[in-house]
Homo-oligomer: A and B are copies of this chain.
Amino acid sequence: MPTYTAPTRDTRFIVNEMLDLASYGDLPGFENATADMIDTVINEAGKFCAEVLHPLNQVGDREGCTRHADGSVTTPTGFKEAFAQYRESGWGTISQPETFGGQGMPHVLGFVVEEFMATSNQAFAMYPGLTTGAISAITAKGSDEQKEMYLPKMISGEWTGTMNLTEPHCGTDLGMIRTKAEPQADGSYAITGTKIFISAGEHDMSENIIHLVLAKTPGAPDSSKGISLFIVPKFLPDADGNPGKRNGVMCGSIEEKMGIHGNSTCLMNYDGATGWMVGEENKGLAAMFIMMNAARLGVGIQGLAQAEISYQNAVTYALDRRQGRALTGPAEPQAQADPIFVHPDVRRMLMDAKAFTEGMRALALWGALQVDLTHKALTEEEREQADMILSLLTPVIKGYGTDKGYDVANNMQQVYGGHGYVAEWGMEQFVRDSRIAMIYEGTNGVQAMDLCGRKLAQKGGAAIQAFFKTVDDEIASAKEDETLKPIAEALDKALTDQKAATMWFMQHAMQNPNDLGAGAHHYMHIMGIVTLGLMWLRMAKVAAAKLAQGTDDAAFYEAKLTTARYYADRFIPDAGALRRKIESGAASMMALEADDFATAA
């Protein structure tokens, strides 16, 4: 049976030392995030996730969700009770606005809780995760009445939320959706259509489910400029705001899928269901993107999360399992064999996991800080700067974070040898669960095009230039220090590759857009490498300073420096190869015709 312990030490390091959250005390809500409060959130959330959610992770995988003839869905044993605890403890309220019952604390802390939940039980975490996405859309685009009606209960966890975008014939290309919204005399709409892959679409954990549904009003343009967003509650709120009449939306079936069995992935049938428009007609895409961006960050955290849980268990196994001898001679001659921890190839996989998870945690929480700053920074300029960085980081956190998180989960499974393939050890579940993160909320190919096709060009390239400047400044301030120099120089190389690839895109994409498309995925990875490198340089700086000051926790900071060097040694070199691939362009990639892909004749 796998185990889970929340990475409390590492989280405190990032929140308190690397991000130095205390230094933002003048921002609204940050004053509540005192050192004590931060500690309490980290420790108590860690405890809740380890003690309540993690024991249900294998249960969820084995039992899955059951749909009954009446369309109702039963979640796995213990999920309902755990969700009640989640609600009662107020874990969903941390970074939500106080106006609607939230605690108004920084998103940084909300992300910490999200990580711990997704690590201990991804399938469970998706129920509140989707709710968070729905909340963000209503917060940004809902009317005052809608906010008052839905937000308090969704924030408290009494009600949960969903995102209904995909239809059988369309996922990425939302302009093609067919779900119809017919205006009714009372200002509501009658929603009719079929949505698929709806996570948490139906379940037994909350008294109501608030579906946010993309649909088309009559005569709407036949493109993504013709979609509108609707609130469609499972139970229509009555005059007192309590769940009333059952609405015309039903779960038609549950998907049988590779993993996240504990989450009910539903096909939803809307049959003249009553809905209310959120925001303006035909502007649903913008509202959807607010919800989607929140969800993308959450999915990126899932990449980190499944890497973390599989890493923790692989470390334990590598220290316990004995097989062969160290190449440098027996490490424990009195035992029949050494722990496999001594073998470099095992250590390579563990160090890869360590360098990724700690770097990615730093990136995710730095991203969360940008979310806070976009809303709360004191000047317009700071808010804009944070918004630019966040918009660049979002596809990287989602795309690179989940690609690499999946790699790590696979490597950690590999540490177990044959036992990794067997269900009882739980490692194969982490691989199956983490696989979805590369797909949903926009496949990683879509993330790559979002980054390269939209984000690089935004504001005439100002965002990416601001990012380059951030990295350049960090490198410049580190090069004089002997300890930091090799890390800074390695990062400089990767940054040079990213700049060259960016320039190459600028020179080629106008003439042949496929040159951009052909390199987009590689570019997203270069930027992932540079961004994690930036995090490692920052963490190394903090560690070096702490060691210079003197600390009784020196081993922790020494390990940070070693891991930063490992990152420089083993992650950075890929940037050069990715750049060469980008610079080879689309010619050989796009030359073949459909028939050329057949191997039989």
Contact indicator B197/A418 (Cβ below 8 Å): yes
Chain B contacts of A29 at CB under 8 A? Answer: none
- Select the residue from A172, A312, A599 with max chain B CB neighbours within 10 A: A599
Chain B contacts of A413 at CB under 8 A? Answer: 435
Which of A69-77, A128-136, A250-258, A467-475 lies on the face that meets chain B? A250-258
A328–B590 Cα gap in the complex (Å)?
A: 12
Chain B contacts of A173 at CB under 8 A? Answer: 322-324, 337
Residue of B nearest to A444 (CB): B414
Chain B contacts of A6 at CB under 8 A? Answer: 600
A530–B35 Cα gap in the complex (Å)?
A: 55
Q: Mark A516-533, 1 if CB is under 8 A from B, else 0.
A: 111011000000000000
Chain B contacts of A166 at CB under 8 A? Answer: 418
Contact indicator A513/B597 (Cβ below 8 Å): no
Contact indicator B345/A448 (Cβ below 8 Å): yes
A476 within 8 A of B: no
Contact indicator A562/B345 (Cβ below 8 Å): no
A584 within 8 A of B: yes
Residue of B nearest to A448 (CB): B345
A516–B126 Cα gap in the complex (Å)?
A: 43
- Output the least CB separation between A328 and chain B (Å): 6
A336 within 8 A of B: yes
Chain B contacts of A420 at CB under 8 A? Answer: 439
Number of copies: 2
A584–B7 Cα gap in the complex (Å)?
A: 29
Q: Given that A418-B197, A595-B555 are known contacts, is A258 also in contact with B589, CB under 8 Å in the complex?
A: no
A333 within 8 A of B: no
A320–B570 Cα gap in the complex (Å)?
A: 40
A479 within 8 A of B: no
A127–B556 Cα gap in the complex (Å)?
A: 50
Residue of B354, B421, B448, B568 touching A436 (CB-CB under 8 A): B421
Interface residues in A403-421 by Cβ distance below 8 A to B read 406, 410, 413-414, 417-418, 420-421
A196–B428 Cα gap in the complex (Å)?
A: 18
- Output the least CB separation between A352 and chain B (Å): 9
Contact indicator B443/A8 (Cβ below 8 Å): no
Interface residues in A535-559 by Cβ distance below 8 A to B read 555-556, 558-559
Contact indicator A421/B258 (Cβ below 8 Å): yes
Q: Given that A514-B327, A569-B581 are known contacts, is A520 also in contact with B589, CB under 8 Å in the complex?
A: no
A46 within 8 A of B: yes
Q: Mark A344-364, 1 if CB is under 8 A from B, else 0.
A: 111111110010011000000
- Select the residue from A171, A574, A593, A600 with max chain B CB neighbours within 10 A: A600
- Output the least CB separation between A81 and chain B (Å): 25
Contact indicator B345/A445 (Cβ below 8 Å): yes
Contact indicator B347/A422 (Cβ below 8 Å): no
- Output the least CB separation between A498 and chain B (Å): 15
Contact indicator A432/B566 (Cβ below 8 Å): no
A506 within 8 A of B: no
Chain B contacts of A172 at CB under 8 A? Answer: 323-324, 417
- Output the least CB separation between A324 and chain B (Å): 5
Q: Given that A315-B597, A421-B436, A597-B350 are known contacts, is A580 also in contact with B589, CB under 8 Å in the complex?
A: no
Q: Which residues of A pack against B, CB within 8 Å?
A: 5-10, 46, 166, 169-173, 176, 196-197, 222, 255-259, 308, 312, 315, 319, 322-324, 327-328, 336-337, 341, 343-351, 354, 357-358, 406, 410, 413-414, 417-418, 420-424, 428, 431-432, 435-436, 438-440, 443-445, 448-449, 453, 512-514, 516-518, 520-521, 555-556, 558-559, 562-563, 565-566, 568-570, 573-574, 576-578, 580-581, 584-601
